[in-house]
């Protein structure tokens, strides 16, 4: 009997059954606890987001390299249905969501709309990466709209309305990405050429030192236009502010923002790490002091971005405080500003690797353990 059910439906049934059993089990176990439905709500919320993501992540060729490459070799066009299944919600998703809504009635709160909104948010979030670069405005507005939906998480009607509006926009991006899918066929690669999944890392690993650092071109060959960078940083700041809004308690909200701001300050050190990795100073520290060449402009220029990045956060907070902005906005904006400074402060990583006054050091190869051996 079970064998007669198609595999896709069998998979669906399995996941549906797992959710129902797991949820009921957890509800049963936590029934006697002081907050009996708390974990159950989380389970349903995560299940709603997961199912929204799954529809795109499991069926959009963008997420599956083999599927994408195979599809590229076929005469498929966006006018035909995708062979593995559609990326837009189906009746199966509706039934799954209906199950979640049905199960949610066991607990008195938080209401049905919130789970529908979570499903939509998950679904749109999974669509965003698939939107093509050419449709950057659609992508940017979708990301901003998603932030708005998250910001109003505690007002389910507004959250759902924002989610649906943003879905209509994201759907345009999705449709256009599938329309132009066949325009950018991927080159065929031998399996051994693609070991880590990152072509740059694979190339570096395949040729060792010094061929790798000398010849493998760093990826920022086309630096983002400044406007795109500014939009990206604005979106980051906006999203941090939206996520902070999920904390109802003001103290916890500020603590979250302080933590995120600290992480962004740490990015300055990560950036410095990316620059100095394998690029040693041309002269030792002792040599600098003895020869009184305390600053070597060709090398020390990498410190400019680090110092500016470290100063950008506190300066933004101080500036916005002077303008009377609330603390939440100051900290969120500081994160965006740190990111902006880190991206825009010269030199770019590629320029540094090609023109910096450093000494190429095989440190990375030496530290890679058994991955590299020294000839001779």
Partner 1 sequence: MIELHDITQHYGVRPILREISLRIEPGEVIVILGPNGMGKTTLLGVMGGVLAPQRGKVWIDGMRRRNSEDEELAIRRRTVYLPDRPWLPATRTGREFLLAVGRLYDVEEFRLMEHVDRLLDLFDLADKGDSAIMTYSAGQTKKIALASALVAETPILLLDEPFSGGLDPAGILTLKRIIQHHGRRRDRTIVLTSPVPELVEEIATRVIVLHDGRLLAFDTIDGLQRLAGHRGPLDEVLQRFVFPDATRKLEGYLQDFGR
Residues that bind partner 1 (CB under 8 A): 192, 203, 205-211, 214-217, 282-284, 286-287, 290-291, 293, 296, 298-299, 350-351, 354-360, 362, 365-366, 370-376
Residue 191 Cβ vs partner 1, minimum distance, rounded to whole Å:
12
For residue 209, what are the contacts with CB-CB under 8 A and spacing of at least 6?
Answer: 362, 364, 365, 372
Residue 357 Cβ vs partner 1, minimum distance, rounded to whole Å:
4
- Measure the CA angle with vertex 325, ends 322 and 331; round to 5°: 100
Cβ closer to partner 1: 73 or 371? 371
Residue 6 Cβ vs partner 1, minimum distance, rounded to whole Å:
42
7-11's contacts with Cβ under 8 Å and 24+ in sequence apart are 8/85, 9/92
Cβ closer to partner 1: 138 or 216? 216
Cβ closer to partner 1: 152 or 353? 353
Tally the residues of the chain: 376
Q: In angstroms, what is the C-alpha Rg of the chain? A: 25
Residue 356 Cβ vs partner 1, minimum distance, rounded to whole Å:
7
Residue 290 Cβ vs partner 1, minimum distance, rounded to whole Å:
5
Q: Which residues of 278-308 are buried (b: 16+ CB within 10 A; e: fewer)?
A: bbebeeeeeebeeeeeeeeeebebbeebbeb
Residue 270 Cβ vs partner 1, minimum distance, rounded to whole Å:
23
Residue 286 Cβ vs partner 1, minimum distance, rounded to whole Å:
6
Give the whole-angstrom CA distance, residue 328 versus residue 250: 9
Cβ closer to partner 1: 4 or 370? 370
Residue 369 Cβ vs partner 1, minimum distance, rounded to whole Å:
9
Q: Is there a contact between 336 and 309 (Cβ–Cβ < 8 Å)?
A: no
Write the DSSP assignment of 35-88 as a string of letters. Answer: STTHHHHHHHHHHHHHHHHHHHHHH-GGG-HHHHHHHHTS---TTSPPTT--SS
Q: Is there a contact between 170 and 138 (Cβ–Cβ < 8 Å)?
A: yes
| Strand, coil or helix: 279 | strand
Six token digits for residue 178: 């599938």
Cβ closer to partner 1: 239 or 358? 358
Cβ closer to partner 1: 225 or 346? 346
Cβ closer to partner 1: 262 or 371? 371
Which residue in 268, 277, 270 sits closest to 340, CA to CA?
268
Cβ closer to partner 1: 215 or 266? 215
């Amino acid at each position: 009997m079970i064998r007669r059910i198609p595999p896709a439906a069998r998979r669906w049934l399995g996941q549906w059954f797992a959710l129902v059993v797991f949820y009921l089990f957890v509800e049963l176990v936590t029934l006697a606890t002081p907050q009996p439905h708390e974990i159950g709500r989380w389970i349903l919320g995560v299940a709603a987001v997961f199912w929204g993501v799954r529809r795109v992540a499991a069926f959009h060729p963008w997420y599956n390299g083999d599927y994408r490459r195979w599809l590229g070799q076929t005469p498929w066009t966006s006018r035909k249905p995708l062979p593995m299944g559609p990326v837009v919600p189906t009746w199966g998703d509706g039934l799954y969501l209906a199950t979640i809504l049905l199960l949610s009635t066991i607990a008195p709160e938080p209401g049905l709309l919130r789970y529908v909104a979570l499903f939509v948010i998950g679904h749109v979030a999974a669509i965003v990466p698939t939107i093509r670069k050419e449709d950057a405005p659609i992508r940017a507005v979708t990301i901003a709209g998603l932030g708005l939906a998250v910001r109003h998480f505690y007002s389910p009607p507004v959250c759902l309305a924002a989610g649906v509006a943003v879905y209509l926009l994201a759907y345009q991006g999705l449709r256009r990405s599938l329309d132009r899918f066949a325009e950018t066929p991927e080159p065929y690669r031998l399996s051994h050429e693609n070991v880590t999944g990152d072509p740059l890392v694979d190339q570096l690993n395949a040729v060792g030192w010094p061929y790798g650092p000398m010849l493998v071109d760093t990826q920022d060959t086309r630096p983002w236009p400044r406007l795109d960078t500014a939009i990206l940083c604005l979106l980051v700041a906006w999203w941090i502010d939206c996520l902070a809004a999920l904390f109802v308690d003001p103290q916890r909200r500020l603590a979250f923002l302080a933590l995120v701001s600290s992480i962004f300050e740490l990015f300055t050190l990560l950036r410095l790490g990316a620059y100095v990795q394998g690029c040693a100073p041309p002269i030792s520290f002792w040599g600098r002091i003895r020869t009184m060449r305390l600053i070597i402009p060709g090398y020390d220029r990498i410190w400019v971005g680090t110092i500016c990045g470290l100063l950008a956060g506190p300066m933004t907070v101080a500036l916005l405080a002077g303008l009377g902005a609330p603390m939440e906005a100051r900290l969120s904006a500081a994160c965006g500003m740190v990111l902006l400074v880190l991206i825009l402060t010269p030199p770019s990583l590629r320029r540094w690797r090609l023109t910096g006054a450093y000494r190429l050091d095989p440190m990375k190869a030496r530290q890679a353990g058994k991955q590299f051996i020294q000839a001779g």
